[in-house]
Amino acid sequence: MNASVRAELSALVRLAGPLLVTGLGHMLLGVVDTAIVGRLGEGPLGAVGLAANLFFTVSVLGFGWMLALDPLIAQAAGAREPEVARGALWQGVWVAAAGAVPLAALLFVIAFEIGRFGVPPETVRDFTPYLLARTWSLFPFLLLAALRSFLQGYELTRPLVISVVVANVVNVPLTWGLVFGAGGFAGLGVAGAGWASVVATVVQALVLAHAVRVRWGPHRGARPPSRAEILKILRLGTPIGLQLVAEVGSFSVVSVLMSTIGTRALGAHQVALMLISVTFQVALALGAATATRVGHAIGRDAPGDTRRAGLTGIAAGGAAMLAGAALFLAAPGPLARILTDEAGVIAAAAPLLAVAAAFQLSDGVQCVAAGALRGAGDTRWPLVANLAGHYLVGVPLGALLAFGLEWGAVGLWWGLSAGLTAVAAALTFRFWALSRGRVARA
């Protein structure tokens, strides 16, 4: 490893480390909600899980718009153009404010009309108040993402860690108090968990807003909306949002297919998904850091640095995920026992974790390669690759193996593995080809 690659890897790890802590902190917020609501019974727990999944599915499009700020701000930071970076952030704020309106309206409709889709009345009773409350966190969530992009673009990661730590400190007693009526709070049941999430999101946004203000200095006024800049954000961000929907959707399709095999298979599937979501946080952190490093290099107009940043990130993503693969192979039973004490589910999860170990490399590579391309402003190719990889390869092959060859649950997971591998290969090839020459700014 030569000195320039070592320097790039060191810079990448310094940036990715705090981003990993932030991602795990966000996961912990969800775990706390699940643990507290679970004490109300399996009915409220299932209703809140369904509502949270639908909230994420709808909000992910807006999140894609905010991720479009990654290349715009990182490239401006690399070019030493702070006014351009500030302008991009303000346009992102306007997009968040405007985009939250139709997305929130859709969530409100879902909250009131979910019963029309065959959801049992007892589930609707808990689903609706939770989603109605949680929807008010949508704009703060998008604002939080925009502020994160600005701070990440300038490699100011300490506020990100502080914000998620403060949010967790606030969230635990607040969720307990609002759900059960402790500490002077009125007991709101499942709706209390939704309102606690709103407060936790607002707290994070306020911490990051303060950090951005400190970075900017005093007396920095708002920028008016710019039609051209807003359209640029939508042009870059809409494919990102659709890509995320496609990726999440493929796992949802597999979950539905898994449910037809049996409750034990579905339970094992959920356990395995939860475990790989933890290791995936490593890939997400490296992907975000790689997007920033690639954007900086493009802003400096340094083609060699651009290529080095992207390929170093991709290699680091694959290598880091091998540690997760080794863990899944070495201790599938103990890992599954963290989440369930059902012996049948634990036994059924073990072979799924073995398959998960096989695709950890592909999962890490595809995630970081998507980040490298995002940093370069290429967001359409990852959408096409995800659609083709998951829906032309992964899901059909998984269904064939599971039901045609009767491999069962393991067959569906081998399909997921094949889809992720196809996406990883396509995205890596795309960045390899794109970075052979000078990459234009987004």
Contact call for residues 47 and 126 (beta carbons, < 8 A)? yes
Tens digit of pLDDT for each residue in 198-250?
999 999 999 999 999 888 766 567 889 999 999 999 999 999 999 999 988 88
Work out the average pLDDT over 39-43: 79
Residue 292 has pLDDT above 90, yes or no: yes
Question: By mean pLDDT, which of 40-44, 153-157, 224-228 is the weakest?
Answer: 40-44
For 268, the token pair is 């094992």
- Measured CA distances, 166 to 172, 199, 203, 254 (Å): 11, 11, 8, 36
% of residues, the chain, pLDDT over 90: 71
Tens digit of pLDDT for each residue in 117-131?
887 888 888 889 999
CA atoms within 13 A on the CB side of 21: 16
Distance between CA atoms of residues 421 and 371, nearest Å: 16
pLDDT at position 193: 92
Higher-scoring residue by pLDDT: 131, 35: 131
Higher-scoring residue by pLDDT: 326, 119: 326
Please tell me what DSSP assigns to residue 435: T
- Residue partners of 194: CB distance under 8 A and separation at least 6: 51, 129, 130, 131, 132, 133, 134, 137
pLDDT at position 330: 93
Work out the average pLDDT over 29-56: 83
pTM of the shown model: 0.92
Tens digit of pLDDT for each residue in 403-439?
999 899 999 999 999 999 999 999 999 999 999 999 9
Mean pLDDT over the full length of the chain = 92
Question: By mean pLDDT, which of 55-69, 76-90, 169-183, 309-323 is the weakest?
Answer: 169-183
